[in-house]
Amino acid sequence: GQRFRQVGRELAETVILAVLIFFAVKAVIQNFRVEGASMEPSLQSEQYLLVNKALYFRVNMDRVHEFLPFIPGDDGQERHLFRPPRRGDVVVFSFPLDPSRDFIKRVIGVPGDTVEVKDEQVFINGSPLHEDYILATPNYTYGPKTVPPGEYFVLGDNRRNSYDSHA
C-alpha cells in the first residue's frame, strides 16, 4: 500500500507539473500559420511561425503601484515588460474587424510617426523608408497621417496585395 501511494503521488505531481509547464509555455510562445500572400517574399502562405508573445507584454503600472506603493504609477505612457514593437518587427495581431482572425504584418510606423505613401515609396516623418524586404513598391497613396498613441501602422511586405493599415 505504501509503495502504491508513493507511485500515485509521484504520478499526480508529474501530471500537474506537465500541465503547468504547458500553460506557461503557451502563455509565452504560440505557433501561427501564414495565410495568404500578403507577407511575400518574407513569409510564404502555409508556412508556420513560432511567436514570442512575452516580448511585447504590457505592464499596467497603476496595478503594480497598488501592491508596491514605492513604485510610481502609470504616467499615461504604455509600458512593456521587455520592449514595445519597433519599426521593422513582424507582428501577429487580431484583425480589428474580426478578432477571431490573426494577421501577420510588419511594423512601419510607431506612435508619433507621420506615415505617408506616395510615388510608390513609404515615407516616415518625411524621410523615405529603405525596404530591402519587398519585391514590389506600393501602387497607392496614403496620408500623411500621424500614428496615434498606443497604435502602430503596419503593412504587408507584398505591398500590392495586402489588407493592412493603409486600407
User: Is 26 designated active site?
Assistant: no
Cα separation, 86 vs 69, in Å, equals: 31
Amino acid at 137: T
Choice among 26, 38, 100, 162 that is catalytic: 38
- Within 13 Å and on the Cβ side, how many CA atoms surround 135? 10
Cα dist. 57→12, 27, 48, 60, 65 in Å? 32, 10, 22, 10, 17
User: Is 127 designated active site?
Assistant: no
Choice among 26, 105, 127, 145 that is catalytic: 105
Query: Which amino acids are annotated catalytic?
Result: 38, 105
